[in-house]
Structure 1
Amino acid sequence: MMKSRIFKSAAALSVAALALTACGDNGGDNGGDNAAGGEGGGEITIGVFNGWEEGIAASELWAYVLEEEGYDVTLEYADPAPVYSGVSTNDYNFTLDTWLPVTHGDYVEEYSEDMTDLGVWNDESSLHLAVNEDAPIESLDELAENADEFNNEIVGIDPGAGLTQTTEEEVIPTYGLEDMEYTTSSTPAMLQELETATEAGENIVVTLWRPHWAYDAYPVRDLEDPEGALGGAESIHTYANTEWAEDEANADVVGWLENFEMDSETLYSLENVMFNENPDADDYRPIVEEWAAENQEYVDGLTS
Structure 2
Amino acid sequence: MKHRTLNLRIRLASLALLAGAGVAVSSAAQAEEEKGTINLAYVEWSSEVASTNVIAVVLEQAGYEVDLTSLSAAAMFQALSTGDADAIVAAWLPTTHAEYMERVGDNVEDLGPNLDGTKLGLVVPEYTDVDSIAKLNDNADSFNGEIIGIDPGAGLMSLSEEVVDTYDLELNLRSGSGATMTAALANAINNEEDIVVTGWTPHWMFARFDLKYLDDPENVYGGAEQIHTVVRQGLEGDMPEAYAILDAFEWTPEQMGEVMLMNQEDDSDPQETAQQWVEDNQDVVEQWLNN
TM-score when scaled to structure 1? Answer: 0.82
**In the alignment, which residue of structure 2 is the partner of 1:33?**
none
Distance 1:159 1:176 in 2: 20
Report the CA distance shift for 1:191/1:21 in structure 2 as closer, same or farther (over 3 A).
farther
Report the CA distance shift for 1:45/1:22 in structure 2 as closer, same or farther (over 3 A).
farther
Report the CA distance shift for 1:135/1:19 in structure 2 as closer, same or farther (over 3 A).
farther
Write out aligned runs for 1:243-282 (5 A): 243-245=234-236, 247=237, 249-274=238-263, 276=264, 278-281=265-268
Partner-residue secondary structure (3-state), 1:158: coil
**In the alignment, which residue of structure 2 is the partner of 1:28?**
none
Which structure has more helix as a fraction of its residues?
2
**In the alignment, which residue of structure 1 is the partner of 2:272?**
286
Distance 1:289 1:271 in 2: 13
Q: 2:42 aligned to 40, 44, 48, which one?
A: 48
- Identical-pair percentage: 34
| Per-residue deviation, 1:244 | 2.1
Contact 2:41 2:71 in 1 (8 A): yes
Query: Does the alignment pair 1:228 with 2:186?
Result: no
Query: Does the alignment pair 1:92 with 2:85?
Result: yes
**In the alignment, which residue of structure 1 is the partner of 2:108?**
115
Distance 1:173 1:213 in 2: 29
Distance 2:275 2:219 in 1: 40
Q: 1:145 aligned to 133, 138, 148, which one?
A: 138
Write out aligned runs for 1:204-243 (5 A): 204-243=195-234
| Per-residue deviation, 1:285 | 2.9
Distance 1:118 1:279 in 2: 35
Report the CA distance shift for 1:138/1:210 in structure 2 as closer, same or farther (over 3 A).
same
Contact 2:5 2:65 in 1 (8 A): no
Contact 1:90 1:244 in 2 (8 A): no
Contact 2:124 2:196 in 1 (8 A): yes
Q: 1:129 aligned to 122, 141, 144, which one?
A: 122
- CA RMSD after TM alignment: 2.1
| Per-residue deviation, 1:54 | 1.3
Contact 2:35 2:239 in 1 (8 A): no
Distance 2:181 2:3 in 1: 28
Measured against aligned partners, the alpha-carbon deviations of 1:255-286 in whole angstroms (never above 9, x if no partner) come to 22222211101110111112x2x2322x3333
**In the alignment, which residue of structure 1 is the partner of 2:14?**
none
Residue 36 of structure 2 aligns with an amino acid whose one-letter code is G
Residue 260 of structure 1 aligns with an amino acid whose one-letter code is F
Report the CA distance shift for 1:199/1:285 in structure 2 as closer, same or farther (over 3 A).
same
Contact 1:118 1:254 in 2 (8 A): no
**In the alignment, which residue of structure 2 is the partner of 1:64?**
57
| Per-residue deviation, 1:40 | 4.2
Partner-residue secondary structure (3-state), 2:131: coil
| Per-residue deviation, 1:19 | 5.7
Distance 1:226 1:217 in 2: 27
Write out aligned runs for 1:15-54 (5 A): 40-49=34-43, 51-54=44-47
Partner-residue secondary structure (3-state), 1:228: coil
Distance 2:60 2:181 in 1: 34
Report the CA distance shift for 1:183/1:19 in structure 2 as closer, same or farther (over 3 A).
farther
Distance 1:161 1:70 in 2: 33
Partner-residue secondary structure (3-state), 2:289: coil
| Per-residue deviation, 1:173 | 2.2
| Per-residue deviation, 1:183 | 0.9
Residue 181 of structure 2 aligns with an amino acid whose one-letter code is M
